[in-house]
Amino acid sequence: MTRAARALPEALARLEAAQLRRRRTTVEGFADAASRARLALGGRTLVDFSINDYLGLARHPALAAAMGASARDAGAGSAASHLVTGHGTEHERLEEELAAFTRRERALVFSTGYMANLAVMSALAGRGERILLDRLSHASLIDGAQLAGARLRRYAHADAAAAGAALEEDAARTAVIGTDGVFSMDGDLAPLAALARLARRADAWLVVDDAHGLGVTGASGRGTLEECGMSGADVPVLIGTLGKAFGSFGAFVAGDADLIDYLMQKARPYIYTTALPQPVAAASRTALALIQAEDWRRARLAARIERFRRRALEAQVPLGLSRTPIQPVVLGSEAAVLAAQSALAAQGLWVAAIRPPTVPKGTARLRVSLTAAHTEAQIDELAGALGHCCERLRARVPA
């Protein structure tokens, strides 16, 4: 056994002692045929408040039917990369429909959102250049900047003034300004209008990862850009995922035709991987059609968000200012958030504890995720249970 291998048990023990060791939860099934609001876990049925299936589409029968029909024709896997023989008609149609939905010239489908972010950042910046990222940007944007070999500078979260100050340190070398649209652990929105002005001033790319905004925010579900009144000219590079509001899997980059062609030539995470299975692309196309046709899903989700916030604040649950389905309850310590997760699970409510390094030290939290599939009764039950948890935690803190 090597010295490095012998060090692993000690490293794991340190994580355990710090209450930072992660363990997987195996979902055994779903209690409701048409939604993921209730899941089977450890032989029990719990209401799931940690899922990103914001519009309740992941178990929609139309998605399953589209996937099955495509699998009978195209098979289960693509068997090659997009640039060899893996690119099929379902991919092509999905890209065309995503481009139309986002009002861009073209779109490029990726296997995961992580790969899309790696691809964009590494293709649009290089050694000797700079990338500016919001401090709370998704890990994949950070890793993409590191893959590019560019100098990474992170500015204070959602602080356009801080971004401007960072830009002025070396505007000429700044190639990319990047941010989430909706931040995955806080649920707040990036200051896109101000960031667009900075990008124009520096003649830099503005890259927005709108994984948690597309399908949900904006009057027609076109995401954070629509919510903020931004156009493709303001945000030339838009990244979206298909595994959240779309209820499917995969991701895409949307932009003008030259950008997409350039990514096809230079983006290593696109070139050197097997294409997304066509049945998954078919399911995503069906989800996109439902998102555009069924506005009631966003309306119901908005009502659930408003109800949860009202009930939770009445119960003295510490909420932030998020207007999105992501409603973090910051409890601070790892011990507190793990205890709260356990107490809620005992009451039939599944809310995952989020700890560092996913969130900054001292901000461990319950990440409440609301969906159109949740009922009003489930929302009220969660708010009340969270109130009791927070009350017990406050009682343990010395005055």
- For the question of residue 60 being annotated catalytic, the response is no
Question: Is residue 274 domain-resident?
Answer: yes
Residues 252 and 352 both lie in one domain: no
- What is the pLDDT, as a whole number, of residue 39? 75
* Residues spanned by the domain of 73: 61-293
Residues 143 and 179 both lie in one domain: yes
- For the question of residue 374 being annotated catalytic, the response is no
- What is the pLDDT, as a whole number, of residue 27? 77
Is the per-residue pLDDT at 398 higher than 60? no
Question: Is residue 316 domain-resident?
Answer: yes
Tokens (6 digits) for 324 = 């999105």
CA proximity to 368, closest of 314, 396, 331: 331
Is the bond leading into 191 cis (omega within 30 degrees of zero)? Answer: no
Q: Which residue type does 358 have? A: T
- Condensed to tens digits (0 to 9), the pLDDT of residues 295-307 reads 999 999 999 999 9
- Condensed to tens digits (0 to 9), the pLDDT of residues 23-67 reads 888 777 765 555 567 777 778 889 999 999 999 999 999 999 999
For residue 394, CA distances in Å to 150, 151, 187, 226 come to 45, 43, 24, 40
- What is the pLDDT, as a whole number, of residue 5? 86
Whether 49 contacts 382, CB under 8 Å:
yes
- Condensed to tens digits (0 to 9), the pLDDT of residues 184-218 reads 999 999 999 999 999 999 999 999 999 999 999 99
Question: How many structural domains is the chain composed of?
Answer: 2
Residues 243 and 386 both lie in one domain: no
Which candidate in 122, 137, 140, 184 is catalytic? 184
CATH of the domain at 305: 3.90.1150.10
CATH of the domain at 271: 3.40.640.10
- What is the pLDDT, as a whole number, of residue 399? 44
Output the pTM of the full model.
Answer: 0.93
Question: Is residue 184 domain-resident?
Answer: yes
- For the question of residue 266 being annotated catalytic, the response is no
Tokens (6 digits) for 151 = 């100098």
Whether 68 contacts 277, CB under 8 Å:
no
Question: Is residue 18 domain-resident?
Answer: no
Which candidate in 60, 82, 91, 212 is catalytic? 212
- Condensed to tens digits (0 to 9), the pLDDT of residues 281-328 reads 999 999 999 999 999 999 999 999 999 999 999 999 999 999 999 999
- What is the pLDDT, as a whole number, of residue 397? 60
- Condensed to tens digits (0 to 9), the pLDDT of residues 112-138 reads 999 999 999 999 999 999 999 999 999
Residues 312 and 246 both lie in one domain: no
Residues 99 and 83 both lie in one domain: yes
Whether 237 contacts 93, CB under 8 Å:
no
3-state SS, residue 217: coil
The last residue of a domain, from among 242, 262, 293 = 293
Which candidate in 60, 87, 91, 244 is catalytic? 244
